[in-house]
Chains A and B, each alone.
Chain A
Amino acid sequence: MRKRSRLVSLLGVIVVFVLSGLHGVAIAKRSDKPTRSRPTAAQCATNRGTNGKLREWAHSACKTDADCKAGKNGRCTQVYGGGRLPPTNECSYDGCFTDKDCGAGTACECGHSADATTAGEAHQCVAAECKVDADCGAGGFCSPSYSLCSRGRDVGKYYCHTPKDECMVDSDCPPPSEKGYGPTDVKCSFSAPTRRWVCMTEQCPVG
């Protein structure tokens, strides 16, 4: 009985040892640099293509670029609402061309499409804890992280990478499980509470 008791105690110690080493994600090898960073300050294009004349959806603010005069490089753009919301046309304007156009704690995120035949995304000032890689120290990187339940281009904020980071790029993160539960989007994103870049699943409204 005493031998068995010792054995169980020893197993307990082993369990504790194993569990204590399991925090965090096991990344085989973290990439050396992120996919996107800011080696130099933003210098966004001043020319912007046009979407031409758009179908006139209900509740639209514009039909052509000529209707968009409230800002710089105004373009009439079709906006999808998703679900049961019908599309609508809204004006989009460039909010900046360089970081200097943006206020403290923000940086200019360049938009526009490479395709000059469309208006593309507007340049916008976005929140930023850094504006160029040098703000993050020697050899550092300043990269965009995605915002709450965001899609596509939507950038939440620029943050510095840190030595504590779990990942640099999305591909550093483990692939979806092979257990058949279905795909889960995993992105290398900045976790504001823990102040480091980690492999994150979805981040949607609490509920």
Chain B
Amino acid sequence: MRSLLVAAIVLGAGAACKAPQLDDEARYATDPTFRRALLTETLLGESHYVKVRLQHYASGDALDWDRHDEWNPQRLDGPLETLGHDAFFRYPAQIAPEGASLTAIPFGVAVEVGGPRPLVALTCATCHTRRQADGSLTVGASNRDFDFGALLAASSNDPEFARTRRAWGPGKVDVSSRDGTEPVAIPDLRPVRYQTHLQYAGAVAQTRLVALALRIETLIITAHGGALRPPRKLTLALARYVWSLAPPLPQSSHRSSRGAAVFAQYCAGCHRGAERSGPPVFVERVGTDPTAARSSWRGTGKYRVPSLVGVGDRTPLLHDGSVEDLTGLLDPARSGGHAFTVGINDTDRAALREFLDAH
């Protein structure tokens, strides 16, 4: 299918006798040179994560992931506007650990692949959709009830493997280290649109929408051991869908309040602009647990600056989920790093809280 798509474009270019002007999304879908350039443009640092992708994605390497056939067992298709939602809830992003039943996987899917039994798989929604007490769904929010480590532990006959995975607890997963000793909180995807960088350590620059699509593509490829790749139409749709989950940007009318002044003094140095995000900050400055930032698997020495748009509705906070919510973050008695607001007085704290809650 990819070849036919490329053929249509190349032959079309031949007929017109000039290079077609393709936008980012079309080039991402059809041009391996563009994808390679996009990969190198967005990967930061020299971690294992970066090296593996440079080695295998559109690299010409013998194990080039770019050459794999597309895997779309659910035959998901349709307009990008609806395909993203469908893929978020139905595309098998990762095969579940051996022995896991569908009932143990929120928003999991069963996939027929010709084996003795259907495969049970996780979807994006498994980790990134929260079912609230009233039964409603918050799409994009981290699923704090999902204990992936427990499922992995139950699937293994290696006691050390099992012990480290059990130690993660619900709502956390180690997506980086091979020994499972660097768990982080499952992130909330709703503010992703406003992030300059992706992943807690900011190893991927989100320069544009297709950077997120590429990030999602390599994420699914590595989750399947580099043995297959998702359709790029699907990863583009997912990227668009994730961006669509973003809360609205704050209104300018709030910027003259007392809370806005407190925010400008204590927060805006890192959480900049309307998006209240910004480039990653060295872990020494942030002061939180440095494990993920300094990880040889995926670390950059820094932590990304999460967008604070909608932060009042987000839980837990910080990369390791060590703070329950905004109330906990602004608690003057709190320890554990990110102490930028610890010294402010009660009036200013209340104003800041009101300011952040307002948008």
Contacts and interface: CB of A to CB of B under 8 A. Distances in A.
Contacts of B224: 191, 193, 203
B75 interface: no
A112 to B, nearest CB: 13
B135 interface: no
B103 interface: no
Nearest to A157: B98
Given A11-B14, A193-B227, A194-B228, A147 B67 contact: no
A194 B160 contact: no
B59 interface: yes
Contacts of A153: 157-158
B48 interface: yes
B6 interface: yes
A201 B59 contact: no
Interface stretch (A31-39, A42-50, A62-70, A75-83): A75-83
B293 to A, nearest CB: 15
Contacts of A149: 152, 178, 180
A204 B6 CA distance: 32
Interface in A97-153: 105, 109, 121-122, 124, 126-127, 129, 147-153
B62 A148 contact: no
Interface in A45-59: none
A206 B164 contact: no
B21 to A, nearest CB: 16
Contact of B175 (A10, A124, A206): A206
The prevalent SS among residues of A at the interface is: loop
A24 to B, nearest CB: 7
Interface residues of B, number: 73
Of A11, A16, A23, A174, chain B has the most CB atoms within 10 Å of the CB of A16
Contacts of A13: 7, 11
Given A184-B55, A200-B226, A204-B222, A92 B115 contact: no
A62 to B, nearest CB: 13
A5 B59 CA distance: 29
Interface stretch (B89-97, B235-243, B265-273, B343-351): B89-97
A191 B92 CA distance: 14
Nearest to A207: B175
B149 to A, nearest CB: 9
A79 B10 contact: no
Given A151-B178, A193-B111, A82 B164 contact: yes
A79 B160 contact: yes
B39 to A, nearest CB: 12
Interface in B154-206: 155-161, 163-164, 167, 173-176, 178-182
Contacts of B13: 8, 12
B37 interface: no
B62 to A, nearest CB: 3
Given A25-B62, A193-B113, A5 B15 contact: yes
A16 B175 contact: no
Given A83-B179, A202-B222, A206-B93, A124 B157 contact: yes
B17 A23 contact: no
A177 B227 contact: no
A173 B161 CA distance: 26
A110 to B, nearest CB: 11
Nearest to A191: B227
Given A12-B13, A203-B222, A25 B63 contact: yes
A102 B123 CA distance: 31
B115 A195 contact: yes
B178 A85 contact: no
B159 A79 contact: yes
Contacts of B114: 195
Nearest to B71: A193
A29 interface: no
Given A191-B228, A202-B178, A152 B95 contact: no
Given A85-B167, A201-B56, 20 more contacts: A9-B14, A13-B7, A16-B3, A23-B69, A79-B159, A121-B157, A122-B157, A150-B161, A153-B157, A173-B63, A179-B61, A181-B51, A195-B115, A198-B225, A200-B226, A201-B63, A202-B225, A203-B224, A203-B226, A207-B127
Interface of A: 1, 4-13, 15-16, 19-20, 22-26, 77, 79-85, 88, 90, 92, 105, 109, 121-122, 124, 126-127, 129, 147-157, 173-174, 176-177, 179, 181-182, 184, 186, 189, 191-195, 198-207
29 contacts: A4-B17, A5-B17, A6-B14, A10-B14, A16-B4, A24-B67, A79-B159, A81-B181, A82-B160, A82-B180, A90-B159, A105-B116, A150-B156, A156-B155, A176-B55, A177-B62, A181-B52, A184-B51, A184-B52, A193-B95, A193-B113, A195-B114, A198-B225, A198-B227, A199-B63, A205-B173, A206-B94, A206-B175, A206-B220
Interface of B: 2-4, 6-7, 10-11, 13-15, 17, 48, 51-52, 54-56, 59, 61-64, 67-69, 71, 73, 92-95, 97-99, 111, 113-116, 119, 122, 127, 148, 152, 155-161, 163-164, 167, 173-176, 178-182, 219-220, 222-228, 291
